[in-house]
Structure 1
C-alpha cells in the first residue's frame, strides 16, 4: 500500500531534521494545536478542544523530557514548560479559553527565539570561511 505523499514528505523531514529543527517543529506543532483547541472552544466542540489540548500537552511533555537541565537556563525552561503544561490542563478542565493566549504567547516567543538561535548557528557554521 502506497503512503500518502504528504505523510511521506513529513516523515522524511522529521528523519532528516537536526535536533534544533526538531525542537522548532515541536514548538510549531504546539502552537498549531493550541490554535485548533481555541477553535474547538469557539465552536463549543468539547472533543476537538480536549483532543488538541492533549496534543499540545504531549508536545510540551516531549520538550520537558528532552531538555538538558544541567545548566541554569535548562532548569528555568523546565519550570516554564511545567507552568505551560499546568495552564493547558487548567484551560481544559476549567474551560478557560483565555489561558490559551498566555501559553501560545510563551510558545511563540520560545519558537521565535529558537529560530534565531538556529539562524545564528547556520551563519557561524557556513559563514566562518567567508569574505571580508
Structure 2
C-alpha cells in the first residue's frame, strides 16, 4: 500500500469512527508516543523524547477538556488524567523511563476499559450475533 493510500485509509478511519472509537484511537496514540519518548531517553535522543512526551500530553489534555463535568465519573477520572500529565512532565524534566512506564500503565488501563465499553456498545447496537 502506498503512503498516499495509507494516509487516505487513516483519514477515512478517523472520519467514520464513532466517538468511542475516536477515544480508543487517542489512548492508542498516547501509548505510541510514550513508547517513542522512552526510546528517545534510552538512545539519548532528547528531541525524540521531548516531541513525543508533548504529543502524549496533548492527548491527555484533550481527554481532560472533553470530559463532561455533569457526570460523577469525571470527578474520579480527572485527577488520574492530571496525575498522568504530571508524570509525563516529570519524565521529560528528569529523563525518567520509570515515570513513563507508570504513565503508560495508567493509560493502558484506561484504554483496556474503554475498549470493553466500545465492544459492549457495539453488541448492544448491532446484537451479539454480528461481527461488529
TM-score higher than 0.5: yes
Please, which moves more after superposition, 95-104 or 24-33?
95-104
Runs of 4+ in structure 1 deviating by more than 2 angstroms, as ranges, are none
Q: How many residues align?
A: 128
Q: Show CA shifts across 1:64-122 (max 9, x none).
A: 11111212211211111111001100000122111011100011110010000111111
In 2: Cα distance, 1:60 partner to 1:118 partner: 19
CA contact (8 A) 1:69 1:78 kept: no
Deviations 1:8-47 (A, max 9, x none): 1111111111000000000000000000001001101000
TM-score (norm 1): 0.91
Q: Structure 2 CA distance, aligned partners of 1:15 and 1:42?
A: 35
Distance 1:117 1:16 in 2: 18
- Structure-1 separation of matches of 2:128 and 2:108: 30
Per the alignment, residue 104 of structure 1 pairs with: 104
| Equivalence for 1:50 | 50
Consecutive unaligned residues in structure 2, runs of 5 or more: none
| 1:10 corresponds to | 10
- Could you list the runs of 5+ residues in structure 1 that have no partner in the other structure? none
Q: CA RMSD in A?
A: 1.7
| Residues in 2 aligned to 1:34 and 1:129: alpha-carbon distance in whole angstroms | 37
Q: Quote the Cα distance in structure 1 between the aligned partners of 2:8 and 2:128.
A: 35
Deviates further, 56-65 or 70-79: 70-79
